[in-house]
Amino acid sequence: MTKYILPKAMSLALILQALPLVAQSQSTDARVTNAWAGLAPPTMAMNAGYFSLSNHSDKGIVLVSADSPAYESIEIHQSQLEDGIASMRMLKSLAIESHEQVQFESGGLHLMMRKPVSNMSLGDRFAVQLHFDDGSAVDFEMQVLKSMPQVNKSEPSGAHQEHHHHHAM
């Protein structure tokens, strides 16, 4: 009868391979990039927030809400053009299929952020949290900018964009 004895180095390699799977099941694989908000006039009690949201998991995810300490309330909105009239409606949820990316952008999906807690200036950063229907959440920072950041929407080939963030959960 043969007895298998794994060399120590080999068993360690097996353990290391297994670790990412464990981490994956405990955190969401949603990732936010290129988050920004325009500079709203001080008289405006609302602002729109934009970003790219990618689902890097093998399952669909459902965004259900967003909040920020910088605004009293945030809704998920969809702008649309109907018969030449622009309007927007609130979404109760937004499904993102496995390995899909959705763009929150001017004229489309956006976060409608109401009643800023303080006056925002160009370059200011504030925290935003997205909540999903499975109870997971993603934290990110939104920056007040003049216009959309000029970054590749797809996965970068250049070195200027940060690489995947692994959630330390």
The residues of the shown chain that bind Cu ion, judged by CB under 5 A, are 77, 88, 112
Q: Which is it for strands 30-37 and 46-55: parallel, antiparallel or unpaired?
A: antiparallel
Residue closest to Cu ion (Cβ): 77
Collapsed DSSP state (helix, strand, coil) of residue 105? coil
In the chain, the N- to C-terminal Cα span, in Å, equals 44
Q: What does the block give as tokens for 128? A: 């935003």
CB of 110 to Cu ion, least distance (A): 6
Distance CA 59, CA 94 (A): 14
Task: Choose between 76 and 96: whose C-beta lies nearer to Cu ion.
Answer: 76
Measured from the CB atom, the residue of 62 and 88 that comes closer to Cu ion is: 88
Q: How far is the CB of 114 from Cu ion (least distance, A)?
A: 9
DSSP secondary structure letters along 116-154: ESS---TT-EEEEEEEETTS-EEEEEEEE-SS-----SS
Closest to Cu ion by CB, 112 or 144: 112
Tell the smallest beta-carbon distance from residue 55 to Cu ion (Å): 23
> Closest separation between CB of residue 29 and Cu ion, Å?
27
Kindly tell me which of 28 and 47 has the beta carbon lying closer to Cu ion.
47
